[in-house]
Structure 1
Amino acid sequence: MPGDLLRRPLIVLAACGCLAAWSSNTHAAPPRLAVITAPQAPRLTLDRATLRNIFLKKIFVDADGQRLIPVNLPPASPLREAFFRELTHMPDVQMQDYWNRQYFQGVSPPYVLASQQAVVRFVATTPGAIGYVASCHADASVQVVLTLSLPASAAVAADCDGSAGH
């Protein structure tokens, strides 16, 4: 019995050490925003400037003449806001004004899909499609062509724990 009393503090300390190690592993780096294409990526250099022009519909086709189809998340999505702020440095109001002007010139904004899962499925099966999702949602059916940092507000909405939208 005296030996049991001596072992208890060691067991508690060991358990606390395991708990500390476990908790530090569960708080991994925040997700990043992944720009995705179908496995056969468009023949373009997909850097920030080119992506900006694709999503602003200033570039319509790749080097082979493949039509480019940018897709967005819904307007209220923090990931959409983070993506456009990173690429265009325009606030939402300015983006809305841009698309109002474009629409009257015959240029429609990118398609809007309801969820990150929908973006992955659409991009994976649509030649020329380009979208963005939290990096944790990109799977083997798509190719990640660029990753961008997410601000904390968008990282919370990234839904990487799988709790919503499946």
Structure 2
Amino acid sequence: MRLALALLLLLWLSFAGAPARAAEGGIAVVVGKLPGAPTALGRAELLGIYGRKRELWDDRTPIVAINLPASHPLRRDFSLWLFRRTPQDLQSYWNDQYFHGVLPPPVLASEEAVLRFVAATPGAVGYVSLCAVDKRVDVVAVLPASEPAAACPSH
């Protein structure tokens, strides 16, 4: 009986908008509200972008991928989801890429800096807490965060 009630409650909550609230602790991959910006990005596309294998959007605009600092919890979650490795584990990859003339994505110090940069820079893509997203950017992917409460401290 309890299981049936729990399932019924979950079903009701799913239609009442609960998944959107539950996802607030996630990671939002964002782009600026500009013509030609993508509307959705999958893991394979993001892997190409953040691995610096894909350099242009479909409309030939240069891609500018932005990272948070390696010590930031969202960067750790993003790297684990995308590369299946921590930012520290990727150091040897980027050292090797450097000798081939490929630099890692630039790092900005805060989520607000990422939002401002992405909103103002054609071709930019970054990631922030889902709860940090505002009208300046469009969300093209939502990823899980390991610690939703840490990602959205005001919730």
Return the offset for 1:66: 0.5
Counterpart residue type for residue 68 of structure 1: I
For the aligned residues, what is the CA RMSD? 1.9
Structure 1 segment 1-166 matched on structure 2, within 5 A = 29=22, 31-40=25-34, 42-43=37-38, 46-152=41-147, 155-161=148-154
Q: TM-score, normalised by structure 2?
A: 0.79
Aligned-partner SS, 1:119: helix
Tell me how far apart the structure 2 counterparts of residues 156 and 78 of structure 1 sit (CA, whole Å). 11
State the percentage of identical aligned residues. 41
Moved over 2 A (4+): 40-45, 91-94
Q: Is the 8 A contact 2:63 2:123 kept in 1?
A: yes
Q: Which has the larger radius of gyration?
A: 1
In structure 2, do the counterparts of structure 1 residues 43 and 79 end up closer, same or farther at CA, with 3 Å as the change threshold? closer
Q: Which runs of 5+ in 2 are unaligned?
A: 1-20
Give the Cα separation in 2 of the matches to 1:92 and 1:31: 20
2:33–2:138 contact (8 Å) kept in structure 1:
yes
Structure 1 stretches lacking a partner, 5+ long: 1-27
- Write the distance in 1 (CA, Å) between the matches of 2:86 and 2:153: 26
Residues in 2 aligned to 1:118 and 1:37: alpha-carbon distance in whole angstroms: 13
